[in-house]
A and B are shown apart, each in its own frame.
Chain A
Amino acid sequence: EVQLVESGGGLVQPGGSLRLSCSASGFTFSNYAMHWVRQAPGKGLEYVSAISRDGDKTYYPDSLKGRFTISRDNSKNTLYLQMSSLRGDDTALYYCVPQKDLGRWGDYWGQGTLVTVYS
């Protein structure tokens, strides 16, 4: 059974940093590209980042480049998201999502970890 457990969320002040983790099991982690997707309270889904299977390629929307860094440790079956210079509009539930093939992802989602940026 595929399991994705996100952790590391919490309360942080504007300008602060957080590192999210996603522990994966039930599938061969190193065979999957991985994504982070977020959802602000009461809002829609927003694409955050992606990383290739071996971690040598990373992707970000222009709006998040420079503040967020995605990484992975295939030996630990774990995905990470380092977030810095956090702002109020980063408040959201952050999901990790595996992708086996280019055109198909989203079959499995974790329950998410909540990041709240407050002042």
Chain B
Amino acid sequence: QSALTQPASVSGSPGQSITISCTGTSSDIGNFKYVSWYQQHPGKVPKLMIYNVSDRPSGVSNRFSGSKSGSTASLTISGLQAEDEADYYCNSFATSRTWVFGGGTKLTVL
């Protein structure tokens, strides 16, 4: 099971929107609706932001949204805020019945 592919870094200015992509294969993202996104600030544990491709846990801002097309999932953050600066990881269920993470994307708010 190879790791999902994410850009190493993305950046945006406050108020802008950014999108982080997560590319997998037909063995994971392309075959299941079980894609999640996690936010991790330095020194903190990961926080679940999106599950089932586009569902948001209660308490997560509606500025965060998820989608999927084929074998690529995406996390979009609108109205970028300084507090959004963090690492973001995607995760998908796979045909091997295990899960696979992306390599992570560092979001910088300029």
Contact = CB atoms under 8 A, between A and B. Distances in A.
A107 interface: yes
Chain A facing B: main interface SS: loop
A64 B2 CA distance: 13
B58 to A, nearest CB: 10
Interface in B12-53: 33-34, 36, 38, 40, 45-48, 51-52
Interface stretch (A14-22, A24-32, A45-53, A80-88): A45-53
A61 B52 contact: no
Contacts of A110: 45
Contacts of B87: 44
Contacts of B97: 59
A35 interface: yes
A109 B89 contact: no
A68 interface: no
Given A59-B98, A106-B38, 15 more contacts: A35-B99, A44-B3, A44-B87, A44-B103, A45-B104, A47-B98, A47-B101, A61-B1, A61-B98, A102-B93, A103-B36, A103-B55, A106-B36, A106-B46, A109-B46
